[in-house]
Amino acid sequence: MSIIEINSLTKVYNSLAVPVHALNGIDLSFEKGEFAAVVGPSGSGKTTLLNIVGGLDNSSSGKVTVDGINLENLSSSQLIDFRLRNIGFVFQAYNLIPVMTAMENVEFILQLQGKPKNERKERAEQLLTAVGLEERMHARPSKLSGGQQQRVAVARALASKPKFVLADEPTANLDSKSSENLLDIMEQLNKEENITFVFSTHDQRVVNKARRVVTIEDGKVKSDENKS
C-alpha cells in the first residue's frame, strides 16, 4: 500500500480577478522509502501539491490519503496533531525559532508531543550528530551558516520519526557544497532508516540524486520517471 495516495486533486485560487487553477486533476502515489523529486517551472503547482499533501492547505476537490487516512476527514485540531506525529517539513526559509539553540529547535517538536526531557535530549543529540552538527548543538540560528541552519531544519523534521518528509526547495538558499552535503545526509537517512523524502525543487542536483522524478506543468503531471 502506498504511503501517499493522491486522486483527482484540484486546487483553484479564487482570490484574484481571474480564478487560478494551480492543480488540475493530479493522480499520484508514493511508496514508503522513496526519494522523489517533483519538478516543473515556477507556478506549475509543485509547492501547492506539497502543501496539500502536508495538510497545510486545502484542496478544491479530489482526495489525499496519507497512511490510509483521508486528510479531508480530519478536523483542524486532528490535522494539526496528524502533521505533528506523521509528517516532517523542510522549508526553503529554514523556519527555525531564532531565540532557541539548534538543540532546542530540534527538541521543540518532541516537546509538543509530550515526550520526556531525557528522550528529547537523546533524540536531538543523535540527529544533530547525524547531520554533522555535534559541535554546534548549542548555537542559535544567527550563529550558524545557511547550510548549518538547513541541516538543523532536517534534524527537526526527522525528530518525531515521521512517516515521510516533505522538502520544499530545501537547497534554494545554499551554495553548491552545502547543497551537496545536505543531499548526501538526506540520501543516507533515506537508505539507512527507510525515511520517505518528497522534494519540490528547481535544483538539478536534487533531481540528479532523486530516484524518481515527477514533472508537473500547468497543474498536471507531464511525466513520471523511475530511475532506479
Q: Is the pLDDT of residue 215 over 80?
A: yes
How far is 148 from 152, CA to CA, in rounded Å? 6
Q: What single string gives the DSSP state of each residue in 93-131? A: T----TTS-HHHHHHHHHHHTT--HHHHHHHHHHHHHHT
The letter for the amino acid at 13 is Y
Structure confidence at residue 212 (pLDDT): 96
Instruction: Name, in order, each residue with C-beta under 8 angstroms of 84's C-beta and a sequence gap of 6 or more.
Output: 109, 112, 113, 160
DSSP lists the bridge partners of residue 28 as 6
Report field, pTM of the whole predicted structure over 0.75: yes
The domain segmentation of the chain, as residue ranges, is: 4-226
Label residue 163 by pLDDT band (50, 70, 90): confident
Structure confidence at residue 208 (pLDDT): 93
Question: Angle 146-158/176-193 helices, nearest 10 degrees?
Answer: 20
Please report the sign of the dihedral spanned by the C-alpha atoms of residue 51, residue 56, residue 62, residue 64: positive
Q: What is the pLDDT of residues 54-89, one digit of tens each?
A: 999 989 999 999 989 999 899 999 999 999 888 999
Q: Tell the CATH topology of 4-226.
A: Rossmann fold (3.40.50)
Structure confidence at residue 1 (pLDDT): 67
Q: What is the pLDDT of residues 1-54, one digit of tens each?
A: 689 999 999 999 887 778 888 999 999 999 999 999 999 988 888 999 999 999
Biggest CA–CA distance in the chain, Å, is 54
* C-alpha of 94 from chain center: 11
- CA distance readout (Å), 59 to 27, 145, 153: 13, 36, 26
Q: What is the pLDDT of residues 110-156, one digit of tens each?
A: 998 899 999 999 999 988 998 889 999 999 999 999 889 988 998 89
